[in-house]
Structure 1
Amino acid sequence: MERQWYFNTVTEQPELGMISPASHRMGPYKTKEDALDAWKIVQERNLEWEEQDREWKRWSSDGQAGASSRG
């Protein structure tokens, strides 16, 4: 199995393999460059998830959740 890259959130350095404790690393990433972009990747994913949450809340607040077509 090929070793993967991780980003150490304490040292803010990429690491090849699971060197640091799990609480200090993000990943795995396929490349060193991706590990270096860890914070950017996290921010992008968070923005996507926040938009999905807004859509979900909008859908459920429209009264559609649990609505039946029978009257």
Structure 2
Amino acid sequence: MPYWYNVDTGQVETDDNRSQDANVLGPYATEQDAARALEKARENTERWDEEDRRWNSGSWDDGTLED
């Protein structure tokens, strides 16, 4: 059963009681993953922001490209 995190209420929801799409994040495989939705989103945003900073400064080198 998929789980959803409601950003308005801060509650985990299931398909049976899920709010409108604009109000939820997911689906998540477990209730625990859904409960961590905002924390995971924050972690992803911080990582992506750092990648953008590196890319924009010209110092992007993840070691996967050959010269």
* 1:9 partner letter: V
SS of residue paired to 1:42: helix
Q: Give 2:49's aligned residue.
A: 50
Percentage of identical aligned residues: 33
**Larger radius of gyration between Structure 1 and Structure 2:** 1
**5+ residue gaps in structure 1?**
61-71
Please, what is the CA RMSD of the aligned residues? 1.6
SS of residue paired to 1:23: helix
Q: Give 2:63's aligned residue.
A: none
Q: Give 1:23's aligned residue.
A: 22
Q: Report how many residues are paired.
A: 58
1:8 to 6, 13, 19: 6
TM-score, length-scaled by structure 1? 0.73
CA distance in 1, matches of 2:52, 2:19: 32
